[in-house]
Amino acid sequence: MQNGTFVPYIGGGKNMKKYFLLLVISTMYVSCSTPDTSISAQIQGNSSQSVLYLNCKAVSEDEIEFEFSRPVTIRNLVFFPDIPIESIENGSTVRVKLKEGAVPGNLITADLLAEDENKNTINVLVSLRARNNRMPDILINELCTEYSNPKTEFIEFLIKSDGNLGGMRVIIHGNSNASRQTIYEFKPVEVKENDFVVLHLRTVDDNCIDEYGDNLDESGGKNATPGARDFWIPGNTKLVHKEATIIYVLDQDDKVLTALIVTNKPDPWWSKDYFADAAIFLYNQGVWLSPEGHIPRPADAANSTGTTNTRTINRDEAAENPNTAAAWYVTVTSGATPGRTNNLNRN
């Protein structure tokens, strides 16, 4: 579920009656409210109101909560990869204390058996991201909206403090996206202040390797840069558009860490609800305000006129506020610098 899309498994049912029967007595798949997680719950018991699994979240590096529709007692709990458990506090919200913290942002799976006071049991298999309290300060630093095979579109990030990227999510609203889409969620990887991270927005060959290890020269795709960390979106779908694109990065609490709005038209997207909703979301987070302080409008976006595969949208690294249109410019032909300091020459 890398892109956050959920497809329910109906166990081969051919009609609604069979579906609802399976929902009660067999296995059902629903989406946990935490990003990019999945859950299988098998319910057994005689009560007409069986206990339901509701949610899970890592509330700290060494504590995980599971929420149910009524108080339960945990009869069995195992984590994969193995994480020793210090204590379990039962109830509607089950609080699990770990003996040691999991790897920040690591994907873990919990297999648990819970029982309510009526002896109804529910077996839950759920995946979630471990809590990462070490997400670094990060800035979108450069955006390439145009594709020219084998050079792909990309988003370049500049790391502003030491930390770990695990669990950080990149969101894009393109002019064909009807809703918020998580295009990439980082696995755990340590980064240092002033590192460059380049997220390439499609994969064109087998040399496009995600650089999660120590070798920053491992990726051989075009625009991959030795010394920078390169990551690649699977597939060959266009995700960003010079006509209108909103990009932002979220932490595990849905806080916006960095954002960018671009357009090359006076009013290309305000009539589309998903762009307006994204602008309101950024405004409510105090990110990308207009100069007058109101909700950002198309006129408040960075101007993407003239962008090509080598003329990219760059952040003015001397600008005081990177979340305003004034901090962004289009560089000259052949001025793209993925994984390196931005070219100061403007188109």
Specify burial of residue 270 (Cβ count, 10 A radius: 0-12, 13-18, 19+). middle
pLDDT recorded at residue 7: 25
- Band of residue 182 on the pLDDT scale cut at 50, 70, 90: confident
- Band of residue 202 on the pLDDT scale cut at 50, 70, 90: very high
Residue 80 has pLDDT above 50, yes or no: yes
| Per-residue pLDDT tens digits for 306-328 | 999 999 999 998 888 888 999 99
Catalogue all structural domains in the chain, each as residue range(s) with its CATH number. 16-129 (2.60.40.1220), 138-330 (2.60.40.1260)
Task: Enter the tokens of residue 319.
Answer: 């600008």
Query: pTM score, two decimals?
Result: 0.83
- Band of residue 176 on the pLDDT scale cut at 50, 70, 90: low
| Per-residue pLDDT tens digits for 288-302 | 888 888 888 888 999
pLDDT recorded at residue 216: 94
Find, among 332, 336, 334, the residue nearest to 346 by Cα. Answer: 332
| Per-residue pLDDT tens digits for 269-285 | 556 677 888 888 999 99
DSSP 266: S
Least reliable range by pLDDT among 73-87, 142-156, 171-185: 171-185
Least reliable range by pLDDT among 78-82, 181-185, 267-271, 293-297: 267-271
pLDDT recorded at residue 269: 58
Give me the DSSP letters along 101-151: PPPTT-EEEEEEEEE-TTS-EEEEEEEEEPP-S-PPPEEEEEEE---BTTB
Instruction: For residue 257, give the 3-state DSSP assignment.
Output: strand
pLDDT recorded at residue 29: 30
Task: Enter the tokens of residue 286.
Answer: 């105090």
CA distance 284 to 291: 15
